[in-house]
Amino acid sequence: MKQYFITGTDTEVGKTYVTCQLLQAAQKASLSAIGYKPIAAGCEQIDGEWVNEDALNIQKACSKIRANKAIKITDNNELKSVNENNEESGQTLPLHQINPIALRAAIAPHIAALEEGVALTFDEIAKGLDELNAYQPDLLLMEGAGGWRLPLTVGDEYTPTYYLSDVVKVLKMDVILVVGMRLGCLNHALLTAEAIRADGLTIKGWVANDITGNMARYQENLHSLKAMLPEPLLAEIPYQVAPNDEVLFAAIKQIS
- The CATH number assigned to the domain holding 209 equals 3.40.50.300
pTM of the full predicted structure? 0.93
Average pLDDT of span 219-229: 98
Domain extent for 204: 2-255
pLDDT-derived band at 80 (thresholds 50, 70, 90) equals: low
pLDDT, position 159? 85
- In this prediction, residue 82 carries a pLDDT of 47
Burial (CB < 10 A; 0-12, 13-18, 19+), residue 228, is exposed
Residues recognised as catalytic: 37
pLDDT of 201 over the 70 cut: yes
- pLDDT tens digits along 41-64: 999 999 988 999 999 999 999 999
Tell me what the mean pLDDT of segment 168-187 comes to: 98
Task: Indicate whether 195 pLDDT > 60.
Answer: yes
- Averaged over 116-127, what is the pLDDT? 95
Q: Which residue has the higher pLDDT, 183 or 241?
A: 183
Residue 74 CB neighbours (<10 A): 9
Predicted confidence (pLDDT) at residue 200 exceeds the cutoff of 80:
yes
CA distance 193 to 176: 10
The least confident of 25-39, 54-68, 83-97, 242-256 is 83-97
Per-residue pLDDT at 153 = 87
Q: Is the pLDDT of residue 88 over 60?
A: no
Q: Is 188 left (phi over 0), alpha (psi -120 to 50) or beta?
A: alpha
Number of Cβ within 10 Å of residue 198's Cβ equals 8
pLDDT band at 11 (very low <50, low <70, confident <90, very high): very high
CA distance 209 to 242: 11
Query: Domain tally for the chain?
Result: 1
What is the reported pLDDT for 76? 54
Q: What percent of the chain has pLDDT over 90?
A: 85
Tell me which H or E stretch contains 8.
Answer: strand 2-8
Closest CA to 109 of 177, 4, 11, 209: 11
Among left, alpha and beta (phi > 0; psi -120 to 50; other), residue 106 is beta
Four-CA torsion 65, 69, 73, 79, nearest 10 degrees: 10
DSSP assignment of 33-83: EEEE--EEE--EEETTEEE-HHHHHHHHHSPPEETTEEPPP-SHHHHHHHH
Cβ atoms of residues 109 and 150 within 8 Å: yes
Mean pLDDT across the chain, nearest whole number? 93
Q: Cα 82 vs. chain centroid, distance in angstroms? A: 22
Mean pLDDT of 116-122: 94
With beta carbons less than 8 A apart as the criterion, state whether 179 and 236 touch.
no
What are the angstrom distances between the C-alpha of 17 and each of 35, 67, 185, 208? 12, 28, 18, 12
